[in-house]
Each structure stands twice: as C-alpha cells, then as structure tokens.
Amino acid sequence: MIVLDAPIQQDKIIDLLNGYNKDDVTFKFEKKQGIKLFFSTNQSDLDAAAEIAKKAIKAESWGSVLYFRAQAAK
C-alpha cells in the first residue's frame, strides 16, 4: 500500500492512479482518510511505486502545481 498526502484534486488523483497501467505498474484506490489517499499496487517495492505515482501526477498539467507527498504506507 502507498499513501498520498494530497489535500486538493483528490478526485483527479484517484481517477489518474486507478487508470494507471504503464510498464505493468497498476494502482487501486483503497480508502481516504482526511488528506491521505491510500492505494494498493501490484509492485513489491513500495517506495518505487510511490515515486511512480508522484511522477505520474506531476506530469499532469493540474498536478504540476500541487504540493503533495507520496510514500510507502507504514
């Protein structure tokens, strides 16, 4: 599981990562807890998966201006 601390544009983040399928990396939205969005992933390296998620969001025009954090859920 990875967690994103993202206060705004949560719906867009969920849509983006739910539909993400690149280089056999996928994410699935699991739950929302305040500003935290939890996603499961098919990757075993959660830090790398969090980095991929962050890059995918930053690559979007609406995501490039966001201030958020992506990391492996503990």
Partner 1 sequence: MNALIQWLEKYVVPIATKIGSIRWLVALRDAFITTMPATMAGSIAVLLNAFFRDIPTQYGWTGFVTAMAPVVGVNSQVWTGTLAVIGLIFAFTWGYNLAKQYDVEPLTGGIVTLGAFLMSVTQSYTITLTKALPKSAAKILTDSGAAVAGKTVTGWGYFNFNSHFGSAGLFTAMIVGGIAGALYIMLTKRNITIKMPDSVPPAISKAFAGIIPAVVAWYVVGIITYFFTDATGAAVVDWIGKTIQAPLLTLSQGYGAVLLLTVLVQVFWFFGIHGTNVLGPVLDSIWLTAQLANVNAQAQGKALPYLWTRSDFDMYAWIGGAGSTLLLLIAIFVFSKREDERTVAKLAIAPGVFNINEPTMFGLPIVLNPIYAIPFVVAPVVMVTIAYFAITWGWVSPVSIQMTWVMPPFLNSFLATSLDWRAPVLQLVNSVIGFAIYAPFVIASNNIDPESLN
Q: Which residues ranging from 30 to 59 are in contact with partner 1 (CB under 8 A)?
A: 33-36
Q: Which is nearer to partner 1, 25 or 66 (CB)?
A: 66
Q: How far apart are CA 10 and CA 66, in angstroms?
A: 11
Where does this chain touch partner 1 (CB under 8 A) — which range of 14-22, 37-45, 46-54, 60-68?
60-68
Q: Compute the distance between CA of residue 29 and CA of residue 18 in angstroms, rounded to an integer.
A: 6
- 71 vs 54: CA distance, rounded Å: 9
Binding region for partner 1 (CB under 8 A): 5-9, 33-36, 61-62, 64-69
